[in-house]
Amino acid sequence: MDLNLRGRTALITGASKGIGLSSAECLAAEGVNLILVSRTQADLDTACARIGDRHNVTIETHAYDLSDSRNVGCLADAHPDIDILVNNAGAIPGGDLWQITEDRWREAWDLKVFGYINMCRRFYAAMKDRGRGVIINILGMAGEKMDRGYIAGSSGNASLMAFTRALGGSAGDDGLRVVGINPGAIATDRLVTIMRTRATERLGDENRWEELMQPLPMGRAGKPEEIGHMVAFLASDLSAYTTGTIITIDGGAANRGPMF
């Protein structure tokens, strides 16, 4: 299916690995030019080479820590004309209320929660001036299925769900759309590392980590590209009446019992 995205430009944060990289690849396959943002230039260079070998699109990279709002300003000043913004940067650590210190909580929220808010504030304004644009916030299932063992993440994702709905609900009045995606367990490098650790603790062998995925819906984690394809669809005019809502992609896990 041709999504009629060719020639548009997308800025993607957290773009060097996992869901961000897959989103970039799926958009590039539709002919979208890319601006990739991540903290580490070496990872960005690898991602740029990987996409550039497969797709004939222009690619720019920026190694920025988006927990610093000055870097958000630099991005907005450098790229005021983007068509698509995909907010994906940030990983909130696991732990309960007593395990996550105030400093760790604030550091994680500065990147993901306030990073998303600041990116939306700057880029929404530029998009509104042109009367077009789409913002896609990658959130997380923990925002709708609360977990005391991931309390900072559940709280942060729930906050961003409310933010996305509030901003997106009236975005159509400005000619824009704002939507969110709640991925479930997705087989990113980060998840595999976590599951290898759990396999060592529970089974005595990190290489048996896939056995711990069997309780998941369909007996597996989701694939990063299964999120990336939804990003591309939501960014397209085929989804022109979709705003102020959250799409959950978790194989049905939000409606099941504990998985791990």
Domain 9-186+222-247 class? alpha beta
pLDDT in tens, 19-46: 999 999 999 999 999 999 999 999 999 9
**From CA 244, how far away is CA 177, in angstroms rounded?**
7
Neighbours of 206 (CB within 10 A): 15
Is this prediction's pTM over 0.85?
yes
Q: Where are the alpha helices (DSSP H) in the chain?
A: 18-29, 41-54, 69-78, 102-111, 113-130, 151-169, 189-203, 224-235
Start-to-end Cα distance in the chain: 37
CA 248 to the chain's CA centroid: 12
**From CA 190, how far away is CA 17, in angstroms rounded?**
9
- pLDDT band (50, 70, 90) for residue 257: low
Report the pLDDT value the prediction gives residue 130, as an integer from 0 to 100: 95
Give me the amino acid identity at 217. P
| Domain assignments of the chain as residue spans, ordered by start | 9-186+222-247
- pLDDT band (50, 70, 90) for residue 195: confident
Greatest pairwise CA separation for the chain in angstroms: 57
pLDDT in tens, 111-121: 999 999 999 99
**From CA 192, how far away is CA 188, in angstroms rounded?**
6
